[in-house]
Structure 1
């Protein structure tokens, strides 16, 4: 399969590209410096010349671009986010739940979801939570908590927040499976969906797995059961990657 992945300069897209190449697929990216997505004529010429079999749209960009790509790609996957759900009403959030985001990022992703589904009814919408990786740099939980420890001398972790989160390699494997055998509609990809670990427990488990000496400062500052539940796609549980997570009750 020839796979176009947008967002290869980001965090998750390179992991998906690695998984796709390992599975024997050809991967190409979209260089927005060379082909401006706002130039539809140039974009159409480039896309026709490349003729990908499938498109995974992970890049930030306008809802118009997402819809344009989706309309021209019968095998199309768009990554959305747990942030389409606000903390009120609380979760866990089902695939069919009303999207309640109030912040700009969540509303942006809702607009993209709607545009994609209107343009391509067979599209796959994959909502994801905070990505975890022990070694990759970029926008992931380990790097964010490293930075917080360095900047403030500790990691602030709410015990009343149950985050949607998954290891990046598990997310990439699930996205690739949805490209290889598409299942149209909304998918929730969350390794914390069943086990429901609170953020303070996740932070401690990640610190042990990564060998990080974080001072985890437990608080009640943010209350939200953010878990993404429902749908046909399931990820391995978080405890498989973080063995320090063990039930004591």
Structure 2
């Protein structure tokens, strides 16, 4: 079960609109005690939602009002002392980003899309390496570009085009590495879709709606990869 068009559309419907409850009828049911405390515009929240969709798992979504500072309230800090979303709850276990995605993918490895490369130590090591690359090389630039070009305008704030130019220059260097890697492998970690590729989805789907999409489209292998993971 790959990241199919159906799941992709379902995912986009769920998180692409400002919905105070971000709930769908099927997801309101409490299944296996899963809860996601987050916000539909948060890229980190979107990552865990994408994992749950890939695995076909239902959950109870609990909106954290970031504008009002709810994530810094005493009640939320009891869930996450760092005041960040999302928090994933599995009955009495509370997991903070990004540990919950790996945990969900491992716990439900036999269900839905196989998001981890467990065939050998080598493939698992490669996946771990690319998870680190996404977190420390790709995400800092991509998240700032998303913030400036998408999130700030939604809040009525002006985009800082100097910041955009600086971060596009950084992202270009990262994408040059990706272009080379994708000449060796169909996806970033291996020849199958994994958690590594999924973690790129929230920022990429945002950036495809901005002028920054040109950086993704003018590299042939990156463009093919983006087309495949976004369905």
Structure 2 length as normaliser, TM-score?
0.29
Q: Which has the larger radius of gyration?
A: 1
Structure 1 length as normaliser, TM-score?
0.28
